[in-house]
Amino acid sequence: MNVITGVSGSGKTSLVRDVLLNSFRYESAINCKSISGIEEIDEMIAVDKTPLAGSSMSTPATFTGVFDEIRKLFAATHEAKSQKLKAGDFSFNGKSGQCPVCKGTGEIKVSLDFISDVSTVCESCSGKRYQSHILKIKYKGESIFDVLEMSVKEAMKLFTDLPKIFQPLSILDEIGLGYLRLGQSSATLSGGESQRLKIARKIIESKPENALFIFDEPSRGLHPDDLVHLQRLFDILIKNGNTVVVVEHNPIVISKADRVIDLGPKGGDKGGKLIYQGNLKGLVDCERSVTGRFLVM
Ligand SMILES: [Zn+2]
């Protein structure tokens, strides 16, 4: 875990984005004289806190791919087979199973003049998103809507013997997202939640083992409790063999660094110089470093 520190404007983001990321992308030294070692890295991934791509129909379940497996389970029940229902019929995005009135959203948007849009629960499906014959199909006593209403933690109990569903959910739980509901709209997620969900998907889908992950001030705007989850996420990535590079001001995050690169001495024209690189102890002892002075070991 590498942390880039330094006062605002000292060039931290320029170093990771303009130099490191660009040099990797173009396979040559960009904005620097030379660069070595990038050929050892399979993939470089910059993680930001922008909202998740996709419409309001994107949910933790669809985003992590577990919903595909859950729909197959419902389609494999005796009841579904006897009605010739397919996995696609259990999608709230598909015409065949969704409530035709609210189109699977469970709510009706009403545009009022002078007032922003107001949503009301769809009266046709009572907010349950599906047609009634789909809701009658049960897996272990739960309908597809019941499952979408479950938190990640609750769903882990239901699918405990099904690794394809259980494992992705357990990753979400490990990084502190166990309280999210499977069918919760991605539009309701905070920047920190979106950030962790994106990485979780990456871990679930491609299981990176030799990638370099870049985080630019990931702690900004996070609740202190979330810092623990963020660190847990870094630990998982590193345990799997990846490298993490974090631009950060937060002393708690800095204190977890294996290696620190401190830039300075000041911002703007007076920045861009390497003040220190090495382990954390050395940074604290480095008299030239502003960051070092603020760290208590
Ligand atoms: Zn409806």
Residue 297: pLDDT band with limits 50, 70, 90: low
Nearest to 198 by CA among 59, 47, 67: 47
SS3 260: strand
pLDDT in tens, 191-249: 888 888 988 998 898 889 999 999 998 888 888 888 888 899 999 999 999 999 999 99
Ligand 1 centre distance from Cα of residue 56 (Å): 15
Percent of the chain with pLDDT over 90: 68
Ligand 1 centre distance from Cα of residue 120 (Å): 10
Residue 287: pLDDT band with limits 50, 70, 90: confident
**pTM for the whole structure:** 0.82
Ligand 1 centre distance from Cα of residue 175 (Å): 33
Q: What is the pLDDT of residue 55?
A: 57
Whether 66 has a pLDDT exceeding 60, the answer reads yes
Ligand 1 centre distance from Cα of residue 146 (Å): 15
Ligand 1 centre distance from Cα of residue 145 (Å): 12
Ligand 1 centre distance from Cα of residue 150 (Å): 19
SS3 121: strand
Q: How much of the chain is in helix, strand and coil states, percent to nearest 5?
A: 40, 20, 40
pLDDT in tens, 114-169: 667 788 999 999 999 999 999 999 999 999 999 999 999 999 999 999 999 999 99
Ligand 1 centre distance from Cα of residue 106 (Å): 5
In the chain the domains, ranked by start, together with CATH numbers, are 2-51+189-294 (3.40.50.300), 60-186 (1.20.1580.10)
Ligand 1 centre distance from Cα of residue 285 (Å): 63
Ligand 1 centre distance from Cα of residue 132 (Å): 10
Q: How far is CA 262 from the centre of its chain?
A: 27
Q: Which residues contact 187 (CB under 8 A, 6 or more apart)?
A: 51, 56
Inter-residue contact 287 to 26 (CB < 8 Å): no
How far is it, in rounded angstroms, from Cα 288 to Cα 252? 21
CA torsion angle 225 228 234 235 (round to 10):
-160
How far is it, in rounded angstroms, from Cα 33 to Cα 271? 18
